[in-house]
Amino acid sequence: MMDGIKKLILGRSVIPSNKDIESAINVSSFLKGKNEKESITNVMDYIDRNFEYWYERADGFSVIMYAFLLLYIVTSLLIAPFIPFNYLVLAFVPAILFISFPPFGTYHIIIYYLVFLSALAIPVMITIMQNVQNLVPILSILCVTYGVLIGVIVGNLVTMYVKYMHYSKKRQGFAKLGTLQDMIRSTFGMGLSVENMLNYRVGICRDYARLTSAILANLNIDHKFVSLKNHVAVAVKIDGEYFVIDQRSPIVQFDKWLSIHASKKADVYGVKFVNKQVYSVELINKKYRIRADKLGINLQNKDLERIQKEINEIFPVKQKNNDWSVKSVLIKDAAYFYDNCVYDSIMSYISREISNIPKNIVRNISHITILQDEKNLIAEIYN
């Protein structure tokens, strides 16, 4: 049953629809490389450089969900002394179901709450009518609690709406979030369409996975969905080994991806596409377990020399100066992630981190030395 629920949630929130795949056609043609490996690298680089994490979408859903859950629990606890025991038990069953089977979006949360509350409405109302005087303090507490929690929900919505007004000045796509209805639908909906993500240029993990899948489907590249407890990404096979495309460069070997998320296992879902249309979703490996022998560092001295040579070609000498000053840039986990299969993605990651330093330093680079510091790389920039 749980597998079926997981597939349902995945289908609603992550698997691209036929319209999503169609929306990604133009982007996909632009990212097509000379071979499959180059195309995959282009996809990762494009997503990394062009999209930001949508914190309001990630956090707002949790605020609304737990506010409604708290409303339900508080109501049940406060009326508990005045209703028969069997109804008290029923009051907590919906709360347990709510936690065990999360709703698909804000509208579903509201439906959950209204349905469960309605199921208890008749016996509760009868009890209230029989204990009117005793329930006056309880009803007062309920009114205050409801007021506070509803205030949290409304305040959250207003804060988001103000932020989106500023976003719309910077991102044309956000101008479409002009109405409260559009804002709620896009921010709290379980799945964000590829069209909207391309417009807004922001998303959360499931939105990134949906966009990535739509692009790869257009490029006819086989891929899987890998799911953790509160996270999902896309995996592709390169030279017989699975690597994960997950929001930010570089592309990471599957077992190492699990390790950085402090997880020892993941669900793996296969998606069958026929003529670029979704045909079926299948849980192909209920629990892929991490392989400890894959967690070592593969970077060798010759690889370090190759990286240093190519980085100095990407950032050529602008001036020669005997009075050098040195700036060190930490490139987190680059040595740990290094793999010859995804060399270009690693190089893109390193060059991006160096590019993030102040422009006056980049303009006056004399040379760059790449050093290894355990799992990390350090770029020493001389200028």
The per-residue pLDDT for 7 is 61
DSSP SS3 for 42: helix
The per-residue pLDDT for 329 is 87
Q: How many residues in total does the chain contain?
A: 383
The per-residue pLDDT for 42 is 93
The per-residue pLDDT for 185 is 72
The per-residue pLDDT for 167 is 67
CA atoms within 13 A of residue 299's CA, in its CB half-sphere: 22
The per-residue pLDDT for 145 is 66
162-214 pLDDT, tens digit each: 777 766 666 655 555 555 566 667 777 777 889 888 888 888 999 999 999 99
Nearest partner of 349 among 45, 46, 40, 50, judged by Cα? 45
The per-residue pLDDT for 55 is 84
* Sequence-distant (≥ 6) Cβ neighbours of residue 52 within 8 angstroms: 201, 202
Output phi, psi for 2, to 5 deg: -60, -40
Do 190 and 232 touch, CB atoms closer than 8 A? no
pTM of the full structure = 0.79
Radius of gyration of the CA atoms of the chain, in A: 26
Q: How far apart are CA 105 and CA 188, in angstroms?
A: 6
The per-residue pLDDT for 43 is 94
31-48 pLDDT, tens digit each: 999 999 999 999 999 999
Q: How far apart are CA 167 and CA 138, in angstroms?
A: 43
The residue type of 250 is P
The per-residue pLDDT for 106 is 46
Do 253 and 264 touch, CB atoms closer than 8 A? no
| Average pLDDT of adjacent 10-residue blocks, the chain of 383 residues | 58 82 92 92 93 83 68 66 59 55 50 56 58 60 68 74 69 57 72 86 91 93 88 91 92 93 87 63 68 86 91 75 71 90 89 83 81 90 82
The per-residue pLDDT for 23 is 92
Residue 131 has which token pair? 């204990």
